[in-house]
């Protein structure tokens, strides 16, 4: 392997340490303990693990973590009622509804129900619109993780050719919106590719930075990468050989200049950005309450 590994796990630990100091300072200035309320509907194993990790992360930085459970059979109205109560709770600063939700519940309806100023996942339409206008309240966690990986490893973004493979609402679309902004952490030329893109390899080979979030194991191969490029693998897929990303890491690492591992790359940072948003929400809501 010739590419330099971008260690997201180590970076996440560093940022959590910074956040812990910020929480202490916030509370010393008279602020409350930030509170993140997670809502889990049903017993999806992956969601259970993810929520457990998030609660542990909260504890490490001094954020209180609440877990609100509803059964697999819960109705949409029951979930909406819970969200409404959390929206009105002055002690709750961030609300996270763990996805996916059961089939009888409309995801779009739930995402719109969370108050925008408590929407620490940044999925509410208002927050998506603010992001595209270049005045975000919160940055969505996975795209923010990608941006932090680039910034904190001094990888130039301004003027770079960035190709994003995948156009999901969670990663591809918001990341494109972030990296094209007039901002010191952006100013990239962004191309978004997807299942209908013609001659995808010809496009990815022109990229200085390739971000892959398509949900297909080892999709990006060595012949699709420009020598020396930075490759960010957002995917995580369970296979017979264990967890693998959307990039054929071993082969691509012989061509790329920098690459993220799976696991240990974007994932740990994604959870850390949730803590970042929760603290930001606590600061904003506390300031608002002080002026009421």
Annotation says 9 is catalytic: no
Distance CA 38, CA 35 (A): 10
Q: What is the pLDDT of residue 290?
A: 76
pLDDT reading at 49 higher than 90: no
Are 248 and 1 within 8 A, CB to CB?
no
* Tens-place pLDDT, residues 139-164: 999 999 999 999 999 999 999 999 99
Mean pLDDT over each residue of the chain, to the nearest integer: 95
pLDDT digits (tens, 9 = 90+) for 68-122: 999 999 999 999 999 999 999 999 999 999 999 999 999 999 999 999 999 999 9
- So what's the pLDDT on residue 243? 87
What pLDDT does 126 receive? 97
Considering the entire predicted model, what is its pTM?
A: 0.95
**Does residue 98 carry a catalytic annotation?**
yes
CATH topology identical between 32-115 and 141-266: yes
Which of 57, 66, 98, 233 is catalytic? The answer is 98
Choose the CATH number for 32-115 among 3.20.20.140, 3.40.50.300, 3.30.1490.20, 3.40.50.10860: 3.40.50.10860
Q: Indicate if 118 belongs to the active site.
A: no
* pLDDT of 203: 98
List own/partner pairs for 13-20 with CB under 8 A and 24 or more apart.
Answer: 13/268, 15/148, 15/269, 15/272, 15/276, 16/57, 16/60, 16/61, 16/272, 16/275, 19/61, 19/272, 19/275, 19/276, 19/279, 20/60, 20/61, 20/62
Q: Shortest CA distance to 277 belongs to which of 121, 131, 57?
A: 121
Residue 43 has what pLDDT? Answer: 86
For the chain, the structural domain boundaries read 32-115, 141-266
- Is 292's pLDDT higher than 70? no
Tell me what pLDDT residue 281 has. 98
Catalytic residue selected from 57, 121, 208, 248: 121
- Report cis status (omega within 30 of 0) of the bond before 165: no
CATH number of the domain located at residue range(s) 141-266 in this protein: 3.40.50.720
The answer to whether residue 228 scores a pLDDT higher than 70 is yes
């Amino acid at each position: 392997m010739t590419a330099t590994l971008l260690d997201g796990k180590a970076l996440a630990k560093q940022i959590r340490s910074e956040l812990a100091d910020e929480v202490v300072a916030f509370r010393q200035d008279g602020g409350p303990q930030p509170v993140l309320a997670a809502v889990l509907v049903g017993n999806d194993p992956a969601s259970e693990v993810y929520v457990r990790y998030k609660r542990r992360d909260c504890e490490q930085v001094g954020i209180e973590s609440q877990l609100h459970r509803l059964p697999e059979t819960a109705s949409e109205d029951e979930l909406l009622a819970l969200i409404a109560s959390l929206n009105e709770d002055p002690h709750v600063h961030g609300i996270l509804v763990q996805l996916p939700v059961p089939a009888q519940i409309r995801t779009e309806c739930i995402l719109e129900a969370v108050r925008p100023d408590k929407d620490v996942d940044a999925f509410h339409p208002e927050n998506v619109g603010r992001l595209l206008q270049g005045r975000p309240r919160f940055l969505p966690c996975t795209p923010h993780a990608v941006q932090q990986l680039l910034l904190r490893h001094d990888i130039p973004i301004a003027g770079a050719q960035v190709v994003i493979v995948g156009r999901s609402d969670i990663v591809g679309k918001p990341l494109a919106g972030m990296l094209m902004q007039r901002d010191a952490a952006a100013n990239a030329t962004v191309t978004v590719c997807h299942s209908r893109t013609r001659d995808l390899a010809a496009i990815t080979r022109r990229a200085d930075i390739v971000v892959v979030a398509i949900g297909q194991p080892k999709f990006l191969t060595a012949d699709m990468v420009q020598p020396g490029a930075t490759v960010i693998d957002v995917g995580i897929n369970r296979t017979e050989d264990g967890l693998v990303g959307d990039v054929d890491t071993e082969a691509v690492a012989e061509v790329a200049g920098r690459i993220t591992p799976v696991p240990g790359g974007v994932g740990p940072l994604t959870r850390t950005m949730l803590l970042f948003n929760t603290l930001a929400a606590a600061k904003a809501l506390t300031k608002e309450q002080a002026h009421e």
